[in-house]
Every structure is written in C-alpha cells, then in structure tokens.
Amino acid sequence: MHADVPTMFLAIILVGAVLSLSVGAVADRRQHDGMVFWAVGLALHTLAYICFSLRGQISDIVSIVLANTALSCALATFTEGLYAFYQSRAPRRLIWLPVVLVFLVFFALLDQLVTRIIVGSLVFVTQCLLALTFMWRQRRQTAGRGKYFLASGIAVMTALLTLRAAGAATGAAAAMLSLSQSSLMQTLTFLGALTSLLLLAIGFVLMSKERSDQLNQIMATQDDLTGLANRRRLNEVLAIEWARAHRSGQPLGLIMIDIDWFKGYNDLYGHQAGDDCLQRVARTMETVTQRAGDLAARYGGEEFILILPDADASAAQRVAEALRQSVQALAIPHNAGADKHVTISLGVAVLSEACYPDAESLLRAADAALYRAKDGGRNQVQLAPEALRHAAPVKLVQLIWRSAYECGNAVIDGQHRQLFNDINTLLGAMLGERKTDEVAALVQVFIADVMQHFEEEEALIKAAGYPGAEDHARQHRQLLDKARTVTEHFRIGKLALGEVFEYLAHDLVARHLLIADREFFASLQPRAQAAPITH
C-alpha cells in the first residue's frame, strides 16, 4: 500500500501545527518545565515539513537547506526542553553544534543527494541519541509512564533516520529516498514520522502532568518551610505504623520535640531567622534518622515528631539524646535562652506490649513526656512512664546477692551487699515513678556509700599486700568521677534515668564489684602459720 505523498505531508503538517498550538496554549514560562521549548520545537518541526512539501515550488535553499536546518533546530529545541524539564544546565554547544553542521553540510552538498542524506541522517541520529542518553541518566527522577512514550517517539525517529542512511549507503533507488515520489519506503517513513510526532508530544505532556501530580502530592504531604512531612502525612503514617506494631507486637517509638524558648528567639532575631532556625533543626532531624522506615515530621509551629518503627525504649532514647546533642552542637546563638544557644526538649513514648489503646494515646504520652522535659529545665530527654519501664529491659532487674560473690572479708562483703540494696532501692523508685528529686536523693545515697566503700576497701587491700592496690584505687577514682558527671547530668535533665541506672548497676556493680574486685580476693585470704621446728 502506497500513501499519497502530498496527503501524508498535509497530515504531518496539520498534526504538528495543532500539537504546537495546543502545547503552547498550556505552556507557562514560570513553571520552568520545558513546555515552551517543546511548543517551539513542534512549530519548527511543522515548518520543516511545510518546506519539504514545497519541494520544486520554492528554491532548493529553502526546501532543502533551511528545511533540514529547521528539523535539526526542532531536535535541538526538544533537547533543550528536556534539560529544562529536569532543571539541569543544558550543554548549549553540544546541543546546537549539529544545527550549524546540518546547515553547512546541506548547503555544500546541495547537488549530492546520497551523500547529503547519509551525512544529514547521521547528524539527526546523533541529536536523537543525545536526548535519549540524557533521558536514560535521568530515568530515576521521572515518575509515571510519560517518559516511555517520549523515549519511544525518539527511538522511532532514530530508527527511521538510521534506515534512511543505510538505504542511501547501500545504493537504494532514488525513489526510495526521494520526498516527492510515492513508495512503500516513503509510506513507512511518513507513518513513522507521524507516529513519532504524536509520541513526542503526548509523552512530554504526560511527563509534565505526572510531575505536576507528584508535586501536588508532595505539597499535600510535605511541610513547605522545612521539607519534612506535614501534619496530614504524620497522622497517616502514625495510624499505619501503630496498627502494624499493635498487630505484630513489635515496638514503635515516638519522639516529640520542641525548640526551647522559640517565641523569644523570633522576637529577638525576627521571623526570617526563626524560619532558618526551624530549617536547620529539620535538617538535623533528617541526619539523625537515617533508617528507611523512620519519619520526621513538623507537628506545628516549633514542634516536631519522629516516628521510629521497631524502636524500643532504649533505641528511641538514644536517637532522642543524639538529636538533642546534635542541635546543641549547631551552636545557634540565642541570647533569650537559658543556655545562650538554641536547644530542644524531647519526650519519648514507646508502644510496647500494647500499653497504649490507640495512636492518639501514644501521641499524648510523648507530649506529656515533652512537657515534663520542659518543666524540668528544658534541653533534656524525658521518657513516658511506660517507656521507662521498658527501657533497657535486660539491665533493669533486681540484683540478688549470692554467696559466690563473697571474698571472705566481712567488711567488704557487707558493703557489697549494701550497694546491692541501694541499687534495688533505686530500681524500685524508678519503676514506682517517684519524683525526680526523690530519685536524685537516692542516687546521692548510693554514691556516698560507694565512696565510703572504696576508701575502706583501698585501705584493706593495701594492708593485705595486694600488689595492684594503686591501680585499683585509680579505677575507683575514674568510676567516681564518671558517677558524679552522670548524676549531675541527670540532675539538670541532660541524661535520662535509665542511662544513670545502667551506669551505676552495670559499671559500678556488675563489672567492678563482681569482676575487677575478684582480682584481690586471694590477697585477703588468711595465711597459714608456719609449723614449729622440732628436733
């Protein structure tokens, strides 16, 4: 079947003109999506085919040289549109050099049909491959199916041009290569050109629409200022993750964050500085939360929330403390704040063993813990009571004194038992939700007992001739120094009670009393008296 050449020209021209006008009508330069380039490219493509259709009626300079130059300009403009769509800097020299080359080649080879077709087709193919290569590199940044339509249109055009060059190189009949004589090859060429034109226009418009839909979806779920998830997205994810955790029995951590004295910061430095502060805190949150399932969201104003799937109380507390320290390390000046720098307060709640009946109650628990952190002096992490009970579950157990722990010295063994009792009393106060001041007082009692024990133990092992007495005393000083630091951080709210207990119970009792102290047990054993010599 051979199609009428003038009819095919007319079809391509009409379709190209309609597509150019349609795309131009919806294009908006303010969008920077490349749509304007695409409308111009379609117009240039249409102009090229108008000139082709007038072969023999106008000069060859116009119908051959300028027509092919316009087609090359159309391909270059399409490529410019792609770079604009992806908001990438276009390599202008690489894009427009083929246009100059086409003009020069077709002008120089005006009377050499075969050579002109081979060289021109290869230049056009190069332009198509440039666009395809760029699209391939950007494929992961393009949502939807529009990119496949567009790539198919460029691929069809590339295939037709390659066949045309191959036909000319193998000595195909002039009728096959001519734009004025009807043949099967010409029919396929025109149909392919029309198909590629439709695919190019539909593909690019669809890509633009799909990206707009994606941006609208992002805008609906993303906070404009900070780039974090907004309240709507937060509610959706929290409901999903709570249901999943409730069903599977896995923990779900929730951290509520508030920037300390933020109103004073805005009043002192201005709203622009306040926005910058919010953005810096938001970026810090994204840095601290790097797991794929974690969600950082802006709850409202200067409040933020972290959702941590599969995070128990200890893990959530570590993330909260890391975030607190990271924000403090930003050293954002804040003369209206207590620390002269921007700090945050954090409340941690954890869904564990179905301790919360719904997602809202988990949120309220984190909010209550946050307010305890603020009431306690700010710039600290506080755990909800349920999270505290489940924090470090292996270590938060009652310590039981066993006879195997005894060294045989009544003074040391008695003091060790007393330290065990102090630790258990402290544990009971933690689980009983005693006030911070009461717990701090119990910690001080424990530290005082430790100091007295260390002094008497050092005197006893030195008198017993233990060779490592000096080194053991040095260990005592290091443990006490850290104990004072830990308790001071707890007193001012910079350290959670679970971390204090972990150090006191694990380092002071389990590791030192039950491991390090055993090294001098042999020195405390009574020495056997020598038997009298008889003759």
| 381-383 vs 344-351, strand pairing mode | parallel
Question: Which residues are annotated as catalytic?
Answer: 302
Strands 295-300 and 303-309: antiparallel
Q: Residue 182 has what DSSP assignment?
A: -
How long, in residues, is the chain? 535
Residue 340's H or E segment, with its range, is: none
Q: Among residues 391, 397, 430, which one has the least CA distance to residue 505?
A: 397
Q: What is the dihedral of CA 228, 230, 234, 235, to 10 degrees?
A: 180
CA 520 to chain CA mean position, Å: 53
Q: Is 393 helix (H, G, I), strand (E, B) or coil?
A: coil
Question: Taking Cα atoms as reference points, which of 476, 488, 484, 467 lies closest to residue 513?
Answer: 476
Q: Which two tokens stand for residue 520?
A: 């001098």
Greatest Cα pair distance, the chain, in angstroms, is: 147
**Tokens 């069809």, located at residue:** 156
Across 98-192, the runs of DSSP E, i.e. the strands, are none
- Hey, CA dihedral for 13, 15, 18, 22, is it positive or negative? negative
Q: Find all residues with CB under 8 Å of 392, minimum gap 6, and list them.
A: 313, 314, 498, 501, 502
* CA distance linking residue 207 with residue 152, whole number of Å: 13
Residue 341: phi and psi, rounded to 5, are -140, 160
Token pair of 311 as six digits: 């995070």
Q: How far apart are CA 71 and CA 46, in angstroms?
A: 9
C-beta separation of 201 from 194 below 8 A: no
450: tokens are 């430790």
Nearest to 390 by CA among 514, 498, 295: 498
Q: Which amino acid is at 140?
A: R
In this structure, how many other beta carbons lie within 10 angstroms of the beta carbon of residue 143?
Answer: 14
> In angstroms, rounded to a whole number, what is the distance separating the alpha carbons of residues 310 and 159?
52
Closest of 268, 513, 254, 259 to residue 386, by C-alpha: 254
Q: Which two tokens stand for residue 30?
A: 């303010």
d(CA 277, CA 210): 33
Which residues fall within 8 angstroms of residue 159, CB to CB, at 6 or more apart?
192
